[in-house]
Every structure is written in C-alpha cells, then in structure tokens.
Structure 1
C-alpha cells in the first residue's frame, strides 16, 4: 500500500435472527375448567328444549337427584379415607421391614411391596371382594363383612405398597451423619429410627402421601364395577330412573367429574405448595 491511500471499508450485512410472529399463549387455570363445566350444565337444557318434550330439564334432573348423588360421593370419600388410613398403617410397617437388618425379612418385605405395588388395582379389588368371606363366625357370634369394607381392604393393599416405598425412600434420603451422631450418643437403632429419623422424614413423605390420597379418591369409582353404591353407580341408576334419556348421559357424568375435580384439585395445589416449602436437599 502507498502512503496517502486509504482502503475503502465496506459494512458486512449482519444476519439477525428471524423472530416468529407473536402467538398468544393460552394459560389455563382451575377456574377455566370449572367455568366450562358450569357453562355446559347451564346451556345443555337448550338441546332438550328444542325437542319440544315436556320432560324435566337437565338442570332440573341434576337438582332433583343431587342429594342422592352427593351421598354417593360422600361414600367415595369415606372409602378413600379408610383405605388411606389402613394402608398407611400397613405401609409404615412394611417400609420399615424393608430396612431391617435381617436380610431375609427385608427381602420378603420387598417382594410383598413390589407385588402389590405393580398389581392392577381393579384385580386387587376383585381379589378382596371374592376371596374375603361375607361373614365371620367367632363362637356363636356372627360378624357380617359388607362389600364396602372389602372394597376398603382392596384399595388399602396398593396404598400399603406405595406408602412402604414412600417410607423407605424418605428414610434412605436422610444423611448418614444423622445415624452416626445418634450412634455416638448411644442411641439404639430403634430409638434412632423413631426419635430422630422418622420425625425428619415427615416433611419428605407428606407431599407424595397427599398425591397418593388424591389418586385413591379418584380410583374409588372402580368400586362401581363390583356393585357398591358409590357415586358412579348411583349416576347410572339415576340415568335409568329417568328413562335412559340420551341427553342426560353426558351432564350426569359431567356432574360426577365436577365433584371429583372440586375435591381433588385443591389437594393437588396444596401438594405443590408443600413440595416447594419442604424442598429439602441432601
């Protein structure tokens, strides 16, 4: 290059990233589903009115049978609560047996847990319904065993297995330093488990336990298959009592769905809140 001569500079084009057109993001909330279900129940009578029949409207039918349907829903809740109580007691013992120092005992507990945890819930329900006798005789005393009690046992079996896994995982998640500190203070293994380890496991076990309860509550509709008068069974009976009207089929089952959603969704929100609050590490 010679002096006094400048080289021309050219600006190179810069390729900017192509931005797609803004698309509105649909964010659904709980009240959207609730509003949709209510709107469906409110506007459903229009279809029945167009037929010109003098039959009771869909809303009228739901209001007429609502006390009976809610009684059935309460029975679903009773079965779920009793199943969770029975399964939690059994699962706590089964989970601790998996952590036993006796290898044969821990292996037997592990096999039992895996069997009931991976078995279909409906099969376990049939197992309890048809293999447990309808009554027990103790001397001259006859103790009846109704179907709903057997259904509670049928649902408690998978609950027991899942709670056992929750307990085992929570205990094993406690840092080993807790065991060493308790051993240095001359605590026995039993004292360490019940006084130090398990109290720390409560906040680790509570969110999955609540999630399991929500699943059990929704699974109680399986009891309709074995003839227990819970909400789904009563819904089918109400539909038959109204002459099997086709326009009632979807609204009646939508009402059952709405009841379970209103009950289970707050449990889900509470579970998420507890998971964030009890976010433990290590």
Structure 2
C-alpha cells in the first residue's frame, strides 16, 4: 500500500496502482507536453466558434464588395440555399451515426477477441485491427465504393445498394479497428484482482466479462469513444469525393448553380461553422468525462 500524502512514483516504472484509466493517462500526457512547451495547449472553446462566425461575416462582406451592389447579397444567397445545405449536413450526421453504431457493435466483439485465450483468435483479431486501424480512411472508402455491388438480389427481388450506404460501411471499417483497441485497452486496464475475485466465486470467463469486467469498462471507454465519434463526423466529408450528397457535395452544387466565384469562401465558412456547432458540445462533454473518470493519485 502507498503512504498517504507521499509522492507518486513514475508511471513509466513501478507503480502502486495496477492500472491507470485511459482518461487520466491522456491528461497526464497533456500536462507533460504543456510543461515541455511552457504554455497551455490549445483547447476547443466557444471563442473558436465566434472566430468562425466572424470569419463568415467578414468573408461575406468582402465577397459582396467584390461582386458589387447589383448582385444578390451573399448572406441572402446562403439563407436561400440553407435547406439544401442543412439537408446535406443531416446526411453527414446520419452517416456518422450509422457508421459509429456498426463500428461499435463489430469493434466490441473484435476487441474481446483480442483478449481471447486462443492464440489463433487473438492473433487474427490483432492483424485485422492493425490493418484497418492504419489504413487510410479514403482508401477504405474507395475500396467499398468500387468493390461492393450496385444492387443485390434477394429472393428474386433486385434491391439497390446506394452509394451513401457503401460510404457508411467504408467509414465504419476504421471505426471498428479503433473501437477494438478502446475495448482491449479498457479490459486490460481492469485490476487483475477483479479477475481473481471473480474466479474464486466460480464465475466462468463469459460471466466475468459480461457481468463484472465490461460494466466497469464503460466509463473508461466513453471519453475516447466520443472523441472517435467527433473525428468520424468530421471525416464524413470524405464521402463527397465519391459523389454522396452530403454537405460538401451540396456546397459544390450551390457554387455551380450560382456561378459566383466570390461565394467560395463564405459557403465553405458556413459549412465549417455547422460542423463546429455540432462537434463542439461533443468535445466539451468528452473533456468533462475525462475529468470525472480520471484516477486520483
């Protein structure tokens, strides 16, 4: 047992605690980087949103000055096309939610396979995890777009396989790998005494995992899981490369329909502002969970 009030030992070496929560480890890494830089690292705050809003207004003013008073005001153009842009942004959200749900479901099982007692299962799941975790997201997206069929035949019926669904599958593959690592790390962070106490009560391995270990892992997995979802949401714009009608694609169509080059920066500034307004609450909630679930040394 450690002495109360004594200095904590170096986490790189021997430690009194058997584990350290992933959130606490991330906070310690951030504190070490801040000490090295001699200043606080930047965090996403509401001021960044004000800067984006100010950038939108300034770019709209400059674009209007460039176009002249004879043309329709830039902000009125954005408001007129607002339903189209927001419809595309809703598509981004739907793709991110579906990809995250599928990735979480499959990634959880893949992460549990990484801690299997069977060597072939453990090795195979590790190879799959590392492959999809380190593969470029855009490459996986292209593979799914061009290798998956355009339609499926089910009981004699021809069912179309839409591009947005292919993009969802392509974006879910790296999510599967990252969720697998989150689950594996969370399970391995549980003190070994939990396993030993469960075995002494005659629980089998499945009961230990589902009734004792995984419930304790939920709060450890939440912050990195939410951070992964925010990253995935911003990565959904990659679907525009393969023609999915999400917000970036719709923004390009708006620019083509208006045929006004000066609208380029205001339109994309509005797109950036929409993503910020959606991802900022997720980022703040993630920080709050990290602080709540960190280990008190």
Both structures adopt the same fold (TM-score exceeding 0.5): yes
Which whole-Å CA distance do the structure 2 matches of 1:42 and 1:200 have between them?
47
Are 1:195 and 2:207 counterparts? no
Which whole-Å CA distance do the structure 2 matches of 1:52 and 1:226 have between them?
36
Which residue of structure 2 aligns with residue 258 of structure 1? 273
Match of 1:248 among 249, 259, 263: 263
Which residue of structure 2 aligns with residue 152 of structure 1? 168
Which whole-Å CA distance do the structure 1 matches of 2:160 and 2:191 have between them?
48
Matches within 5 A, 1:52-201: 52-201=68-217
Please list the CA deviations of residues 10-58 of structure 1 after superposition, one character each: whole Å capped at 9, or x if unmatched: xxxxxxxxxxxxxxx9x98733322233233334444324653511111
Q: Secondary structure at the match of 2:220?
A: helix
Match of 1:41 among 36, 56, 61: 56
Shift in CA distance, 84/28, structure 1 to aligned 2, threshold 3 Å:
closer
Please list the CA deviations of residues 98-135 of structure 1 after superposition, one character each: whole Å capped at 9, or x if unmatched: 11111011000000000000000000000111111011
8 Å CA contact 1:41, 1:59 repeated in 2:
no
Q: CA deviation at 1:184?
A: 0.5
Moved more, 52-61 or 269-278: 52-61
Which whole-Å CA distance do the structure 1 matches of 2:43 and 2:200 have between them?
54
Matched residue count = 256
8 Å CA contact 1:44, 1:58 repeated in 2:
no
Shift in CA distance, 51/193, structure 1 to aligned 2, threshold 3 Å:
closer
Match of 2:236 among 220, 240, 244: 220
Please list the CA deviations of residues 157-188 of structure 1 after superposition, one character each: whole Å capped at 9, or x if unmatched: 10000000000000000000000000010000
Runs of 4+ in 1 over 4 A off after TM superposition: none
Shift in CA distance, 46/253, structure 1 to aligned 2, threshold 3 Å:
closer
Which whole-Å CA distance do the structure 2 matches of 1:179 and 1:28 have between them?
38
Are 1:270 and 2:288 counterparts? no
Shift in CA distance, 153/31, structure 1 to aligned 2, threshold 3 Å:
same
Q: Which of 1 and 2 has greater Rg?
A: 1
Which residue of structure 1 aligns with residue 47 of structure 2? 32
The Cα RMSD (Å) is: 1.8
Which whole-Å CA distance do the structure 2 matches of 1:131 and 1:114 have between them?
21
Shift in CA distance, 198/225, structure 1 to aligned 2, threshold 3 Å:
same
- If the length of structure 1 is used for normalisation, what is the TM-score? 0.87
Moved more, 208-217 or 271-280: 271-280
Matches within 5 A, 1:205-216: 205-216=221-232
Q: CA deviation at 1:149?
A: 0.6
8 Å CA contact 1:116, 1:157 repeated in 2:
yes
Shift in CA distance, 236/109, structure 1 to aligned 2, threshold 3 Å:
same
Which whole-Å CA distance do the structure 1 matches of 2:66 and 2:196 have between them?
76
- If the length of structure 2 is used for normalisation, what is the TM-score? 0.82
Which whole-Å CA distance do the structure 2 matches of 1:55 and 1:105 have between them?
65
Please list the CA deviations of residues 211-233 of structure 1 after superposition, one character each: whole Å capped at 9, or x if unmatched: 00000000000000000000000
Shift in CA distance, 195/51, structure 1 to aligned 2, threshold 3 Å:
closer
Are 1:235 and 2:235 counterparts? no
Unaligned runs of 5+ in 1: 1-24
Shift in CA distance, 227/183, structure 1 to aligned 2, threshold 3 Å:
same
